[in-house]
Amino acid sequence: LAKTTQPISMDSYEGQEVNITCSHNNIATNDYITWYQQFPSQGPRFIIQGYKTKVTNEVASLFIPADRKSSTLSLPRVSLSDTAVYYCLVPSGNTGKLIFGQGTTLQVKP
């Protein structure tokens, strides 16, 4: 079964770029990689999703190397409001269900 590994926590300062890397060694050929953000006592919110190379939207970029064994979420110029838990998800098992890993708690400081 595919499993993800992320750093437990990261610190950053306002205005900096933050890169969070996720390892997913057993990802299947057709699987997409999805990232969610969660604030305390709220439901997770979709950030970005990708299959290969690079994907960019209005809030983040996702870099996926050719071997697809990892991916990196890039948040440009973070602000205090980006303090949250960030989860990397890949489909698991025959059903392709998405399983949340432990996530990365990002603390943005002034």
Partner 1 sequence: DTEVTQTPKHLVMGMTNKKSLKCEQHMGHRAMYWYKQKAKKPPELMFVYSYEKLSINESVPSRFSPECPNSSLLNLHLHALQPEDSALYLCASSNPTGTRGGGNEQFFGPGTRLTVL
Applying CB under 8 A, the residues found at the interface with partner 1 are 28, 30-34, 41-46, 49, 51, 87, 89-91, 95-103
CA-based torsion, 79, 16, 19, 58: positive or negative: positive
Nearer to partner 1, 34 or 70 (CB): 34
Strands of the 18-23 sheet, one edge to the other: 18-23, 70-75, 61-64, 53-56
Determine the distance from the C-alpha atom of residue 63 to the mean position of all C-alpha atoms in its chain, rounded to a whole number. Answer: 10
Distance in Å, CB of 68 to partner 1, minimum: 12
Distance in Å, CB of 16 to partner 1, minimum: 25
Nearer to partner 1, 43 or 110 (CB): 43
Nearer to partner 1, 18 or 50 (CB): 50
Nearest to 1 by CA among 35, 23, 32, 24: 24
Distance in Å, CB of 106 to partner 1, minimum: 15
